[in-house]
Chain A
Amino acid sequence: MKWMIRLVSMLLALVFVFPLIWMLVVSVKREGMGVTSLLDWFTPPYSLDVYGEVITQTKLTHWIWNSFFVAVCVMILTVLISAMASYAMSKIKFRFKTFMFFFILAGLLIPGEATLIPLYQVAKDVDILNSYEGLIFPVLASPFAIIILKSFFDGVPNDLIESVQIDGGGIWRVFFSIMLPLTRPALASIAILTFIGSWNNFLWPFLSVTDDNLFTLPVGIPTLMDQYTEDYVKPMVINTIASIPIIALFLIFERQIVKGISMSGIKG
């Protein structure tokens, strides 16, 4: 029984990594070998020529950079503006607060996919199509982040805030030296989820950008792929190059990522 479980576990793990191993192996195969059996992929001749070709002759690396750049900007700005708004909602008294709360809450019910078509028109009207601004700004408002952060901010004791204020600290001091440090895990969780969301965002970049210098990975990759091919070498090189940075990031930050996701489950 014990070894059965162990065997099944290993098999499951194999199923999960095998496509990635296959991707890697095919990517170093020499092009145009006319593969007829699975074993052919796993036997020489190997070659790295296609890597050089893809890196020098396509914009793939530039798109990787774009994806990172956009994801990092979206991550930082989303966390910042959500934290600011949540702070106001949690710790500052003002009129119409209840109304404001429901106004933000309503946003949870408006899925981005349902407003995509008019959003395109709005982005066109304010002239941010085909620009980094257009890729970044429309996706920054996250009512979800606000609801989560607000609940964390609510947990920060008011005494702490008052003690800073007695020392002459202003509202910004409170925000930066009390609220943000104390809710770091929540902020990190939002940051990680936002990064992944932006990294995988397809529809909006796909619609809003026509200039290939601004493509992000998900939009750029299909333009390089020839769907009707049996020679997988080049596609797999593209897939591998596109995946290496994000896999490396994952392995470095695995603990934080896992934590971030677990947290979203508790609050979601």
Chain B
Amino acid sequence: MKKRLGFMLTLVLAFSMLLSACSGGGSSNSEGGSADSGKITLSYWTLFTGGDGENMDALIAEFNKTHPNIEIKNTKLEWAEYYTKLITAVGNGNGPDIGISHTSRLPDLIEQGVVTELDSVADAAGIEWSTYNQNLLNATVVDGKHYAIPIDTHPFIMYYNKKLLQDAGLLGEDGKPVLEQSAEGFVTFLSTLKEKLPANITPFAFESKDHDPFRLWWSLYTQLGGNDIISDDLSKVQLDEAKATQAAQYMQDLYSNGFIKKNDPDFYKTFQSGAGAIMMTGVWATGTWESTNGLEFGAMPIPKIFDQEAAWGDSHTIILPVTKDEDAAKREAAITFADWIADNGQIWAKAGHIPSKPSAIEKQEFKDMDYRSDYVSVADTVKFSKPSTKNWQIRDLAVMKYLNEVWAGKMQPADAVANMQPEIQKVLDQ
């Protein structure tokens, strides 16, 4: 009997040791807390990669250096998974102290209860809301409460390779493209590029599906006077079919006329390596091009192809997600960080973004940077989406899906526009 007890004891011990071995490593809880030596450690989740990521790292390093009491720890998440991970983590109490949100995504995060309102902590930290670009700021205010600190605008613009344009005789004396700002003018411009440049050069380095084509389509649709795709009360699909179709048709022709390399897996690389004459994407590419040796490029607003100047754009904001403890000191440190980032918009602008504080745009450091001033004006003509909680779902589940078929030449623009409307409504009704 005694023997048996000893054996069982050993067994239980062994089993529990095994269990603790298997969970022992699990104590890597990322929360540093504000425990020792009065230093506040804040976890910060971002969705920035590439040039954006490096600039944000530099900003954080600078902030940590100049603010000895606060330490920001950056976790970079994959862009496509960022919001799912953020909502999930906040939902189970493992969210970060600071996060990033696009303005277009903010209404959804507010409704989900992911973000906290900022007015009291902003007062405590002495944030001057009036120092922000009011257009950007307004998009972050819901029912009179502030929910986010905008740090930039990032519109959709056009880049061009100066050397290739020169070869094609399309670069003016002033170093700007010779391009008539009209529907025919842009096509003529591309045709000339196609004719004059070698066959292995793509006139228009462009994505073949998803985001950038959507952004161009949105830009053209709004240039035609289209006013978002949902009604002002955010409950109904309200797509101007004729305009949406016209914009899609125009773009489908660009694809089918061979101006764009078919299914280009790496359109950034195409432009970067000098194999594409022009390219369109968000301003965040500026920093990448600048750091590319031997790439002589220029930046400009996208051409006014239709009736009025307009372009797709969005804005990055800093948010304070809901956390378990709602530690006031942490929150104050977090909002101090956010305001500091906005103050130092000229550094963030190195990635290509347009700062959210007019004072940052006025700084000599910003003015001394090339390219930015060529497109800083776009900020005024950006057409943001309406503050719907469904913006991203509408785009991902309904609009992009059908437009991709149009770009691939598998669907008529009119059919795609007709098909996407009930799907948008379905998303809105959910």
Asked if A132 and B25 make an inter-chain contact with CB atoms under 8 angstroms apart, the answer reads: yes
Residues of A within 8 A of B7 (CB): 170, 172-173
Query: For residue A257, which residues in chain B have a CB less than 8 angstroms away from its CB?
Result: none
Given contacts A172-B8, A210-B85, contact A129 B94 (CB under 8 A): yes
From B10, which residue of chain A is reached at the shortest CB distance?
A172
Given A124-B91, A210-B85, A132 and B4 touching (CB < 8 A)? no
Determine if A170 and B94 form an interchain contact, defined as CB atoms under 8 angstroms apart: no
In the complex the two chains form, is A228's CB within 8 Å of B265's CB? Answer: yes
| Chain B contacts for A173, CB-based, 8 A | 4, 7
A 122-137 contacts with B by CB, 8 A: 124, 127, 129-133, 136
A127 to chain B: which residues have CB within 8 Å? 92-93
Pairs A–B under 8 Å by Cβ, sample size 8: A124-B92, A132-B23, A173-B4, A213-B28, A223-B81, A229-B265, A230-B266, A231-B269
In residues 261-275 of chain B, which contact A (Cβ within 8 Å)? 265-269, 273
Binary contact track A71-95/B, C-beta < 8 Å → 1, others 0? 0010011001000000000000000
Q: List CB contacts (< 8 Å) of B329-372 with chain A.
A: none
Q: Which residues of A contact B3 (CB under 8 A)?
A: 168, 170
Separation of A228 and B25 alpha carbons in the complex (Å): 35
Given A80-B18, A136-B22, A170-B4, 17 more A-B residue pairs with CB atoms under 8 Å apart are: A80-B15, A129-B92, A129-B94, A130-B92, A133-B26, A170-B7, A172-B4, A172-B8, A211-B28, A213-B28, A213-B30, A222-B78, A223-B77, A223-B81, A228-B265, A229-B269, A231-B269
Complex Cα gap A217–B8 (Å)? 37
Indicate whether A144 reaches chain B with its CB closer than 8 angstroms.
Answer: no
Question: Taking the complex as formed, is B89 at the interface, i.e. its CB lies under 8 A from any CB of chain A?
Answer: yes
Contact A228 B22 (CB under 8 A): no
Interface residues on A, range: 20 to 34
Nearest residue (CB) in A for B91 is: A124
B241-288 CB contacts (< 8 Å) to partner A: 265-269, 273
B269 partner residues in chain A, CB cutoff 8 A: 229-231
Q: Is there contact, CB below 8 Å, between B18 and A136? A: no
Cβ of B11 within 8 Å of any chain A Cβ, yes or no, is yes
A69 within 8 A of B: yes
The residue that B78 contacts in the complex, of A69, A170, A223, A228, with Cβ under 8 A, is A223
Q: How many Å lie between the Cα of A172 and that of B6 in the bound state? A: 11
Tell whether, in the assembled complex, residue B28 and residue A172 are in contact, meaning their CB atoms are under 8 Å apart. Answer: no
**A149 at the binding interface (Cβ < 8 Å):** no
For B25, B85, B267, B268, which residue has the most chain A Cβ atoms within 10 angstroms?
A: B25
Q: Given the known A-B contacts A136-B23, A210-B85, are A130 and B94 also in contact in the complex, defined by CB atoms under 8 Å?
A: yes
Q: Which residues of A contact B (CB under 8 A)?
A: 34, 69, 73, 76-77, 80, 124, 127, 129-133, 136, 168, 170, 172-173, 207, 210-214, 222-223, 228-231
Question: Once bound together, how far apart are the Cα atoms of A228 and B49, in whole Å?
Answer: 14
Closest residue on chain A to residue B78 by CB atoms: A223
Contact (Cβ within 8 A) B268 A228: yes
Answer whether residue B75 sits at the interface, using C-beta atoms and an 8 A cutoff: yes
Identify B30's interface contact among A34, A80, A211, A230, CB under 8 A: A211
Dominant secondary structure at the B interface: helix
A210 touches B273 (CB 8 A): no
Give A230's nearest chain B residue, CB to CB.
Answer: B266
Is residue B88 contacting chain A, with contact meaning CB distance below 8 A? yes
Annotate B14-44 by CB proximity to A: 1 below 8 A, 0 otherwise. Answer: 0100110111011010100000000000000
Residues in B with CB closer than 8 Å to A230 are 265-266, 269
* Contact among A77, A170, A213, A222 with B22 in the assembled complex (CB-CB below 8 Å): A77
How far, in Å, is A69 (CB) from chain B's closest CB? 6
A77–B18 CB distance below 8 A: yes
Question: Complex: how many Å from CA A130 to CA B269?
Answer: 36
Q: Are A214 and B28 in contact (CB under 8 A)?
A: yes
Give the chain A neighbours of B273 by CB distance below 8 A.
34
Cβ-defined contact, B266 with A228, below 8 A: yes
- Give the distance in Å from the alpha carbon of A164 to the alpha carbon of B409 in the complex: 77
Asked if A131 contacts B75 (CB within 8 A), the reply is no
- Contact assessment for B94 and A210 in the assembled complex, using a CB-CB cutoff below 8 Å: yes
Instruction: Collect the chain A residues with CB atoms within 8 Å of residue B26's CB.
Output: 131-133, 214
Q: B94 — nearest CB in chain A belongs to which residue?
A: A130
Query: B88 contacts A131, CB within 8 Å?
Result: no
Instruction: Pick from B7, B15, B23 the residue with the most CB of A within 10 Å.
Output: B23
Q: Are B92 and A133 in contact (CB under 8 A)?
A: no
Tell me how far the C-beta of B281 lies from the nearest C-beta in chain A, rounded to whole angstroms: 12
With A210-B85, A211-B94 in contact, do A69 and B265 touch (Cβ < 8 Å)?
no
In the complex, A212 Cα to B45 Cα: how many Å? 11
Cα A211 to Cα B29 in complex, Å, equals: 9
Note all chain B residues with C-beta closer than 8 A to A34.
Answer: 273
Which A residues are in CB contact (< 8 Å) with B267?
228
Chain A residues with Cβ under 8 A from B94's Cβ?
A: 129-130, 210-211
User: What residues of chain B lie closer than 8 Å to A76, measured between beta carbons?
Assistant: 18, 22
C-alpha gap A259/B78 in the complex (Å) = 40
Residues of B within 8 A of A214 (CB): 26, 28
Q: Bound state CA distance, A231 and B3, in angstroms?
A: 66
Q: When chains A and B are docked, how far (Å) is the Cα of A231 from the Cα of B351?
A: 23
- A131 contacts B23, CB within 8 Å? yes
Which A residues lie within 8 Å of B23 (CB)? 131-133, 136
A77 neighbours in B (Cβ, 8 Å): 18-19, 22
Complex contact A69–B25 (CB within 8 A): yes
Q: How far is the CA of A86 from the CA of B22 in the complex (A)?
A: 23
Q: Scan B59-97; emit 1 where CB is below 8 A from any A CB, else 0.
A: 000000000000000010110010001001101111000
- Which residue of chain B is the closest to A172 with respect to CB atoms? B7
Chain B residues near A211 (CB-CB < 8 A) = 28, 30, 94
Alpha-carbon gap, A132 to B25, bound state (A): 7
B28 A210 Cβ-Cβ under 8 A: no
Chain A residue with the shortest CB-CB distance to B200: A36
- Contact of B89 with A210 in the complex, beta carbons under 8 Å: yes
Contact partners of A207 in chain B: CB under 8 A? 88
- In angstroms, Cα B26 to Cα A73, docked, is 12
Distance between Cα atoms of A69 and B28 in the complex (Å): 14
Report B102 CB to chain A, min CB distance, Å.
19
